[in-house]
Amino acid sequence: MTVRSNGDGGPLGCHDCGHDYAYIGVDPHPGYCPACGSRAVSPAGAVRLHRHDLEAAAPPGGEVHVTATDESGRDFRYGFRLLDRHHATLVSVRVAGRPVRRPPQGWSTDLLPPVVREVLDENGLSSTGAAESLD
Is 4 within the bounds of a domain?
Answer: no
Instruction: Determine how many CB atoms are found less than 10 A away from the CB of residue 86.
Output: 10
Residue 1: inside a domain? no
Per the domain annotation, does 2 fall within a domain? no
Query: Is the dihedral angle over the CA atoms 4, 6, 11, 15 positive or is it negative?
Result: positive
Residue 25 lies in a domain: yes
Distance CA 86, CA 99 (A): 26
Q: How many domains does the chain have?
A: 1
Could you read off the pLDDT of 11-42 as tens digits, one per residue?
Answer: 788 888 889 988 888 788 888 899 999 988 88
Instruction: Please indicate, yes or no, if residue 5 is contained in any of the structural domains.
Output: no
Task: Read off the pLDDT band of 3 (50, 70, 90).
Answer: very low
Q: Which domain holds residue 81?
A: 12-128
Q: Which of 119, 68, 114 is nearest to 95 (CA)?
A: 68
**Residue 3 placed within a domain:** no
0.85 surpassed by pTM: no
Strands 87-95 and 126-128: parallel
